[in-house]
Amino acid sequence: EAGVTQSPTHLIKTRGQQATLRCSPISGHTSVYWYQQALGLGLQFLLWYDEGEERNRGNFPPRFSGRQFPNYSSELNVNALELEDSALYLCASSLETHRGSPLHFGNGTRLTVT
Amino acid sequence: DAKTTQPPSMDCAEGRAANLPCNHSTISGNEYVYWYRQIHSQGPQYIIHGLKNNETNEMASLIITEDRKSSTLILPHATLRDTAVYYCIVVNDYKLSFGAGTTVTVRA
């Protein structure tokens, strides 16, 4: 069974540009979650999509947005990039949405903003 | 979510069992205990989770005390590939929050 796949693995952008990150969940998983893991700050919840709808978002500005496609893959867009957006962006998927259903993570996209 | 306390680091000999402790004294009745690990530059890997009962899968065993205030992750036969940061977290919803975890180093 293929795991969660993310692309690209590395992305280098300059301040003010836009970045698009992509995620394919495990087959059969309908929920996709996005997290930011910045150095020294741990894991921060960004967005949750389920059945094509945004279900919740973390404490991030509106320039962080995304969507989920009919095949349950997802895209994270970051507009007007700032230096502090440099981080590892992780996507996870789960089979169900209750707390007893584990999240399975991809290996992330390393975004560097210069 | 309840907070967890883990030792910052531990060493383990290859082939021996590794016992990783975790305290979660403020856990509430509907919160699960999850363990993930993260190898440098990779995403977190799900290991095991439980609510009240002890659990075992192909990777590890999870022992939860009767009062649920602490748990132990057991890697039965540690290999060099088990070297990673191990996170014990208490989960009420999808907003996972990882602390510093325990850096486990398996030595040959």
In tens, the pLDDT along A66-94 reads 999 999 999 999 999 999 999 999 999 99
Percentage of residues in chain A with pLDDT exceeding 90?
A: 86
> What are the chain B neighbours of A4 within 8 Å (beta carbons)?
43
Strand ranges, E, within A1-114: 5-7, 10-13, 19-24, 31-38, 42-50, 53-57, 64-68, 74-78, 87-94, 104-105, 109-113
Please give the pLDDT value at position B100.
85
- Rounded mean pLDDT of A6-12? 98
Residues of chain B with pLDDT under 70: 1-2
Please give the pLDDT value at position B2.
61
Q: Is the pLDDT of residue A42 over 70?
A: yes
Does the beta carbon of A60 lie under 8 angstroms from any beta carbon of chain B?
no
Across chain A, what does the average pLDDT equal? 94
Does the beta carbon of A4 lie under 8 angstroms from any beta carbon of chain B?
yes
Could you tell me whether strands B84-91 and B32-38 are parallel, antiparallel, or unpaired per DSSP bridges?
A: antiparallel
Residues A106, A4: contact at Cβ < 8 Å?
yes
**Interacting residues of A8 by C-beta distance below 8 A, sequence separation 6+:** A21, A109
Among B49, B51, B99, the residue with its CB nearest the CB of A102 is B49
Please give the pLDDT value at position B1.
56
Amino acid letter for position B95 = K
Distance from CA of A31 to the nearest CA of B (A): 10
> What are the chain A neighbours of B46 within 8 Å (beta carbons)?
102-105
Distance from CA of A94 to the nearest CA of B (A): 10
Residues B32, B51: contact at Cβ < 8 Å?
yes
Please give the pLDDT value at position B74.
98
Among B30, B31, B98, the residue with its CB nearest the CB of A43 is B98
Distance from CA of A51 to the nearest CA of B (A): 16
Distance from CA of B64 to the nearest CA of A (A): 15
Percentage of residues in chain A with pLDDT exceeding 70?
A: 99
Please give the pLDDT value at position B60.
98
Q: Is the pLDDT of residue A62 over 60?
A: yes
Does the beta carbon of A100 lie under 8 angstroms from any beta carbon of chain B?
yes
